[in-house]
Amino acid sequence: MNSRERFLATLRCETVDRPPVWLMRQAGRHLPEYRELRKEHTFHTLVKTPELACEVTMQPVRRYDMDAAIIFSDILVIPEALGQPYHFREQGGIGMEFKVDCEEAFEKLSSETVEDHLAYVTGAIRNARKECGDTKALIGFGGSPWTLATYMVEGGSSKTYHLAKQIFYRERELFDRLMELITEATIRYFRMQIEAGADVVQVFDSWGGVLAPDIFWDASG
């Protein structure tokens, strides 16, 4: 049983020789080979260049012989593809180009060209699929609609999620339209990843825990 077979069998709840091993954030700061790349390229360049994203994806697999590779990307590629670019704040955290907190801001968004905007991700996945071959599993991913909405409405990272919750409670129609747009784009994005060669896609609901249990499903789209 090779790594990919072990990983896929585990997802099917079948008996395996041992649990498959991978980490949520395999690629990145702790790897010296990654730090060397970061001396020459920005994070966005690494994400948006298929050859570089594939290289970063495969670095921890080569070093630690993980059972699965996780494509190197970011959950905020969806807001960016919808028309809301993101950046890293000097003081830490994420900043968005604008806040989607009113009708005027919402009208700046569009899902018409999501596939074109995110072609670099599918390019990276195709490259990584070739390197993984039939022996290593490949994981794609994306953010949950609620988690993406928090960044989009708040204008970046937040500690209170006040604006996102306010839109949910006070401007429900706008909130629902935003969630529908994010959900549609994310579904298309996941299909792209699977078609490009990902064995599975993982949904990161990073900020689902800030929702009260009685509103979780309504606010999660």
Catalytic machinery residues? 25, 29, 38, 74, 151
Give the span between the Cα atoms of 20 and 206, in whole angstroms. 23
Looking at the DSSP bridge assignments, the partners of residue 143 are: 204
**Residue 208 DSSP class:** G
3-state secondary structure of 170: helix
Q: Give the count of beta carbons closer than 10 Å to the beta carbon of residue 173.
A: 8
Give how far Cα 96 sits from Cα of 8, 18, 31, 81, Å. 36, 42, 28, 13
Where are any strands of DSSP class E within 133-206? 137-143, 200-204
